[in-house]
Chain A
Amino acid sequence: MIVFNKYFKIVKQHLGTIIMFTAICVIVTIINTNYNTQDSFKSVENNIAIINHDNSKIVDNYIKYIDKGSNLIDIKDDKKEFQDALYSNKVDAIIIIPENFTKDLLDNKNPSVKIKKSNQSFSMITELQTNKYFNLINLYANSGMDEELIIENINKSLDKEVEVKIIGNNDLASKAKLYMFFSFTNYSFLAIFIFIIGTIMCIFNKETIVKRNTISSEGLKSIYRQLLLGHILLTLIIWLVYVIFSIILFKEMMFTMNGLLYIIGSLCFAITCTCLAYFIGTLIKKESIISGVQNVVSLGLSFISGSFVDRTLLDSSIVNFSKIFPSYWYIDVNYRLYDTSTYNMDALMPIFKDYIIILLFGILFIILSKLVVKFKRK
């Protein structure tokens, strides 16, 4: 296992870079945590516009509920108008309630309201309130109550919540931070894995080293198997470090269903990043261009997939384009986790589907690598 043994000695030489990216991720999360204390939630009222295509008592009641904690702003129902309002910070979020929303909700069809946000951290609160409200409705509707009764009950339980609002807000804030932390791992995983695995592959693919390994009695197959083992162990170690940081930052939140699903998502993404790094490693010959490739891929994918900027702020063609990369689906998982508070089958299925899509990308990268190697041999 001499190759495996020296693999980690080589990794040790690049520990600084790994620590740097991890530190960035943790620091960004901590800064955000301190910035958005509960006070700032209380003192800042969001400017919210609601575009209502569905006239029902439940929706009217919802608007009243949102009105309590935010300033309602009137804007025209027009796409261009939305974008202008968001960019000029006239509104922090626009909530669009589709036609037949209430009917679908009561029929248990899981409809959703569209939320366009400009400022992630502030408007997240509105978003979470919205989700909570409609989740509760769903719960009551399932127990067979009619519209009137639902409204009565929901107002009661939301009134009760006012008393624990500070705690509740704090909870919401942490939830948003959790989402931020894991969304940021999209960048740090891509950066770290492309850098370290790409570098190690370049080192072992150098012509002089390959020649030297070929004439040794170890056998190339065994050497590449040991390298693979190194990649796998390295991936797990780095992922585990991030899990430990998430536990330090978010404590018991990580031991809920929600936290667990975040952790599983990050593992899937870490594996796929390793596969992508492996693919890139087969394409690159020179160690010197790795950091360039690493920056382009990690920053690029993080921007277009909504890891740095909220998706609603991005042009829809960019968002659609980003679907051909695993980052889109990873951010998708994290967003769903942030968006969901009850975990029934309906909520879990799309999350699992995203996990599988992320892992399929991993398999695709491995197949592509094999093709490249075959092509190169010819």
Chain B
Amino acid sequence: MEKIIEVENLTKYYGKFKAVDDLNIYVEKGKIFGLLGPNGSGKSTTINCILSLLNYQDGKIKIFGEEMKPNSYNLKSKIGVVFQDVAVFEELSVYDNIDYFCGLYIKDKKIRKKYVEDAIKLTGLEDFIKFRPKQLSGGLLRRLNIACGIAHKPELIFLDEPTVAVDPQSRNNILEGIKKLNKDGATIVYTTHYMEEVEQLCNRIAILDKGKMIAVGTKEALKELILVGEKITVETDNLDKKIIKKLKEQKNIIEVKYEDNILNVTYEKGEENLEEMISFLKDNNVFYSKIFSELPTLNDVFLELTGKELRD
């Protein structure tokens, strides 16, 4: 597979503060690559370094096999960026904003008109083209920001936390739009601190914490990294201590917790354990109102690797 971005040993300091620590990642053509990490983990800094917007102390970065320089216009024309902070003109309408940013790349008026219309359609802004940014809700504003970043149909797209503080409807629109861009051939770098999004969207994921990459791979591979597997939750009143003790002696079980009439059982990774659990409860005459099983999430991965929750 062709590697569109290659980052080797990237290290970036802000003064004495190390924001990115010896980072190694690559992004393959046609894939959606996710950078997952809590706030302040260095996602935006990494993207700004890749785009040569920041100087870095150490490391080698190549995009499309080249080093990005201020005058690498050919390279820049193939890239679209949606920054974390919304960058639009308050004085211009939705249409004019998209037209401006598209016009920085596309000179031909006819082609540009078509591209701008495509971007409006993709982000579902058809009903708002005459609105000014101030008149848009948070979600629509984010969608405008995205439309401005991708209207020129770039081959490589960076999206830095495009769904922060966005309503569910806009979030769905954004995620669907990104899938469509990818289906149409664009390679995508997506940063977020929402694990559900990367699970839903990304082919490969790098997990960042405090500027360090703590794991990278497909979501399946990442889940293989950790010890915990399935989690079973049972809602049941007045559970006997003896039964809890008995449960702890069962094979494959890592942890048993019983609090506020809710029983949490964590298994080692491997087979499915729901059936066994149900028969155990039956054998011991335990009545329950609800039982369900959860497979491990990237949050569990993060929790196990760093000892803290992904979301603060």
Which residues of A approach B to under 8 Å, CB–CB?
2-3, 5-6, 9-10, 13-14, 203, 206-209, 211-220, 223
Contacts and interface: CB of A to CB of B under 8 A. Distances in A.
Nearest to B79: A215
Contacts of A3: 100, 104
Contacts, number: 65
B91 A13 contact: yes
Interface in B273-287: none
B103 A2 contact: yes
B85 interface: yes
B175 interface: no
Given A3-B100, A6-B99, A206-B87, 19 more contacts: A3-B104, A6-B103, A9-B92, A13-B91, A203-B89, A203-B90, A208-B86, A209-B87, A211-B53, A211-B87, A215-B53, A215-B79, A216-B101, A216-B104, A216-B105, A217-B76, A217-B105, A218-B104, A219-B71
B293 interface: no
* Count class of interface residues, chain B: 20 to 34
B92 A6 contact: yes
9 contacts: A2-B104, A203-B90, A208-B86, A208-B87, A209-B89, A212-B101, A216-B105, A217-B73, A217-B74
B230 interface: no
A2 to B, nearest CB: 3
A212 B103 CA distance: 13
Given A213-B104, A215-B76, A10 B92 contact: yes
Nearest to A6: B100
Interface of B: 51, 53, 70-71, 73-74, 76-77, 79, 81, 83, 85-87, 89-92, 96, 99-101, 103-105, 148
Contact of B73 (A9, A14, A206, A219): A219
A2 B81 contact: no
Contact of A217 (B51, B86, B91, B104): B104
A148 B51 CA distance: 88
Nearest to B80: A215
Contacts of B96: 6, 9
Nearest to A199: B91
A10 to B, nearest CB: 4
Contacts of B71: 219
Contacts of B76: 215-217
Contacts of A223: 104
Nearest to A5: B103
Contact of A2 (B85, B87, B100): B100
Contact of B77 (A211, A214, A217, A220): A217
